[in-house]
Amino acid sequence: EPEVTQTPSHQVTQMGQEVILRCVPISNHLYFYWYRQILGQKVEFLVSFYNNEISEKSEIFDDQFSVERPDGSNFTLKIRSTKLEDSAMYFCASETGNNEKLFFGSGTQLSVL
């Protein structure tokens, strides 16, 4: 079965630093998502992306966050100035767009110190 690939699996950073989380969605998928999950809590929607622009975003996705699809394969989430509360597991997901199932990556565990 095709997979969504995320790198790195773990990222440790200092508060105030910028981080970029990387994702390679499944090649024929058109819709891309970022979710996050704080330890012990539910999976939270951050942003969806289609046709090279954001289609939906949550209240969590403030000016510190940005997403980009710099080439035909990668989909990145940038946090400009990390805060302690940004520590979480970040999941990338993709789908074809025809109300098909979301495929999730294995996540990037971000720890902000």
Partner 1 sequence: LAKTTQPISMDSYEGQEVNITCSHNNIATNDYITWYQQFPSQGPRFIIQGYKTKVTNEVASLFIPADRKSSTLSLPRVSLSDTAVYYCLVGDDNTDKLIFGTGTRLQVFP
Residues in the site for partner 1, rule: CB under 8 A? 4, 31, 33, 35, 42-45, 48, 50, 55-56, 58, 89, 91, 93, 97-99, 101-107, 109
User: Can you tell me the distance from the alpha carbon of 64 to that of 54, in angstroms, rounded to the nearest whole number?
Assistant: 15
Q: How far is the CB of 45 from partner 1 (least distance, A)?
A: 6
CB of 52 to partner 1, least distance (A): 14
* Nearest residue (CB) to partner 1, 63 versus 101: 101
Q: Which is nearer to partner 1, 35 or 75 (CB)?
A: 35
Q: What is the 3-state secondary structure (H, E, C) of 26-87?
A: CCCCCEEEEEEECCCCCCEEEEEEECCEEEEECCCCCCCEEEECCCCCCEEEEECCCCHHHC
Which is nearer to partner 1, 90 or 112 (by Cβ)?
90
Instruction: State the minimum distance, in angstroms, from the CB of residue 21 to partner 1.
Output: 13
